[in-house]
Structure 1
């Protein structure tokens, strides 16, 4: 009887400790998400400038080329075709900035203040990724509110679906950005890497030009480009289009498969990043 009571007490204490530990991890994640929200609110000028580039692309680039690109090749006007790619551009810059901030904090030594907290490294990494995902989605939502500029009607279910897909794309882009960020120590190296990869990945995704109009090797490489799946997912939700998206051989994966590819890519990137982020000597 005494042994049973002792076992019950130990189990009760372990349960309370586990619950308290879970609350502690959630508080750490919430604090990191709140930190990114405060950064976003404290610098509205930077937010406006980040949104200005994709908006100018939509109005100037889309309006200028709409007369040159036949509607029959796209299944609609070029501005409507371009709008999902512009949404992707809107979330790309804030997602990338998460990796830049991580390297800057690591280079300056301020990352140590974060690592000495009692929260687990995996929780800190999730908080950093979710914070970047939230701010990137918020900036994409601002551009999504200007749907008529992309010839998209105000339909609540349609906008909600696009917002959910923007959230998934933001999560994937943030996770992919953190992967090289934990391996690079100098901000200049990371910036150079971004300049070499960001534009080719965007143009090779079909965001601005149909994949069918690009060289065959670019179309083949799009199968390995996460931005191509995000662009195709947004475009197929925004409306029917005659432009070919990503194909696996002769088969075009349905939207649910494309969403699964994005989610799987983000999970693999986070797990890979967590292995390096958990090493004290590497992150100090």
Structure 2
């Protein structure tokens, strides 16, 4: 008697399957973050130390030259950016962890677009990073930033855009990495210079020409400056102090509009997402 052949039907890929895959990957990122409280605390410790310890120390040195404003108020948008950026990169790093334990292979053989996996990863990382940023945002009153609904909504939107872009950057880096040590070494080499050159901790006014060029070509500058512009728009500071602490980004002597800065971040995020998807399509 001949053995009966049982056919196995693999469902065809569709937009519905891809949307469901995005939702599942996003949900997994949220659960992973909520269940890792040590990570939640550690991601907040460094920005809080920079804001309240370093900010207080530096503020005591420059207090006479910036009357009417606390230096920690100036640093506040930069610390939000630092929180969002570090959290987004760590979220992207989970791809390497999934590869080491074999879970990534299971996702890649699923009948869904690999692009859907990348999009879900980036959205999940962006939401988690924005949630971390909200904790820093809640400390606004402690550093002289008003609790304005308009300001908070603006900062939330800018935080999410920056978080999505940096997570896409991390996913692009992690797509071909084989172990966590390599990824985190590369992450530190890429993120720390960009963070220090973004104007998060020092004003962009009156910089030497070589340092000005580095800040202008640094993509992270265009994520930090819109947040600072939004904060200073809700502060009452002398014009000369505003000119020193909040000069904006200039191209050839002209200040770059905030909308153009946000457009640069969005375009970079879309480009990095595309590269990340292409990397995943070539992955094993």
Q: Distance between the aligned counterparts of 2:145 and 2:107, measured in 1? A: 43
Deviation at 1:87, TM superposition (A): 0.3
Rounded to whole Å, the distance in 2 between the matches of 1:44 and 1:180 is: 25
- Distance in 1 between residues matched to 2:157 and 2:264, nearest whole Å: 15
Quick one: structure 1 residues 215 and 195, their matched pair in 2 at CA, closer, same or farther if it must change by over 3 Å?
Answer: farther
Worse-superposed segment, 236-245 or 83-92? 236-245
Structure 1 segments (4+ residues) deviating >4 Å:
70-75
- Corresponding residue for residue 225 of structure 1: 218
Equivalent residue, structure 2, for 1:194: 187
Is 1:89–2:52 an aligned residue pair?
A: no
Query: Do 2:175 and 2:280's aligned partners in 1 also have CA atoms closer than 8 Å?
Result: yes
TM-score by length of 2: 0.87
1:36 counterpart = 2:29: yes
CA contact (8 A) 2:73 2:143 kept: yes
Residues 1-284 of structure 1: pairs in structure 2 closer than 5 A: 21-70=14-63, 72=65, 76-212=69-205, 214-240=207-233, 241-242=242-243, 243=245, 244-279=247-282, 283-284=283-284
- Deviation of 1:197 after TM superposition, in Å, equals 2.2
- Hey, what's the Cα distance between the residues in 2 that align with 1:128 and 1:249? 38
Q: Is the 8 A contact 2:70 2:143 kept in 1?
A: no
Aligned length: 264
CA shift for structure 1 position 45: 2.6
Gapped runs of 5+ residues in structure 1?
A: 1-16
Shift of 1:191: 1.6
Q: Which moved more, 1:178-187 or 1:87-96?
A: 178-187
Whole-angstrom distance in 1 between the partners of 2:281 and 2:67: 47
For residues 226 and 73 of structure 1, do their structure 2 counterparts lie closer, same or farther at Cα, with a shift above 3 Å needed?
farther
- Please, which runs of 5 or more residues in structure 2 have no aligned partner? 1-10, 234-241
Q: Secondary structure at the match of 1:207?
A: coil
Select the structure that is richer in helix.
1
Rounded to whole Å, the distance in 1 between the matches of 2:64 and 2:258 is: 24
Pairwise CA RMSD: 2.0
TM-score (norm 1): 0.87
Displacement, 1:73?
A: 5.1
Cα shift at 1:106: 1.9
Moved more, 253-262 or 236-245: 236-245
CA distance in 2, matches of 1:51, 1:197: 20
Counterparts of 1:74 and 1:187 in 2: how far apart (Å)? 46
Say if 2:92 and 2:122, in contact at 8 Å, map to a contact too.
no
CA–CA distance in 1 between the matches of 2:123 and 2:225?
A: 23
CA offset at residue 69 of structure 1? 1.5
